[in-house]
Amino acid sequence: MPTPNEAEKQHTGPEEADRPPSMSSHDVAPRAAPSRNPCCLCWCCCCSCSWNQERRRTWQASRESKLQPLSSCAACAPPSPEEVQSWAQSFDKLMHSPAGRSVFRAFLRTEYSEENMLFWLACEELKTEANQHVVDEKARLIYEDYVSILSPKEVSLDSRVREGINRKMQEPSAHTFDDAQLQIYTLMHRDSYPRFLSSPTYRALLLPQPPQSSEA
């Protein structure tokens, strides 16, 4: 005669027999290992993953030296009256003059739009690079400094240009920011340049300079 325990086992249906044993509160099913965050493979600075933070810390130490604008040694000497007058002839002449760029940049600083000139200069510097490794690094620095929506120096670009930059940043080149540079150049030409020509900064340069006294 079967015992009570054996009888209970005999009455267990096939569904119950095939049912996996229930887990206790201590038998927690192991979670699947999370896949690698795709953010860690991106180049932009909009994420906070550890890889991106480490990359930014590494670049931060050399940021200033790597994004120095074009040489402006010629701007150290006062421009001639003829050169100053030529700046009013066209915006191109102003931007092709090292002294003109220096004076115009100082004016933009008073209007809180100096980042436009800094971005344009950084793009000009990028175009002179032939080493692809340097191009990659500088392109990403330019993006982080002037294109990223998180940057305090973000320049004003329309959505079409931004989307184009995002595509090109997958494989940066010396001309990744050409469209953006042209848009900022046009913005400075149409918006800031007319105010610069009528500003006290420019008008003071047009005044005759007193002759320098020569020592006997």
Domain map (residue ranges) of the chain: 86-206
Give residue 208's pLDDT: 74
d(CA 25, CA 62): 53
d(CA 68, CA 125): 8
Q: Which two tokens stand for residue 150?
A: 């998180």
How far from 21 is each of 5, 9, 17, 31, 107, CA to CA, in Å?
A: 18, 15, 9, 19, 77
Nearest to 122 by CA among 83, 176, 161: 176
DSSP 3-state of 49 = coil
pLDDT digits (tens, 9 = 90+) for 140-179: 999 999 999 999 999 999 999 999 999 999 999 999 999 9
Read off the pLDDT band of 28 (50, 70, 90): very low
Classify domain 86-206 at the CATH topology level. Answer: Regulator of G-protein Signalling 4; domain 2 (1.10.167)
Give residue 10's pLDDT: 52
pLDDT digits (tens, 9 = 90+) for 80-105: 999 999 999 999 999 999 999 999 99
| Residue 178 CB-half CA count within 13 A | 8
The pTM of this model reads 0.65
> Cα-flanking dihedrals φ and ψ of residue 30, to 5°?
-65, 135
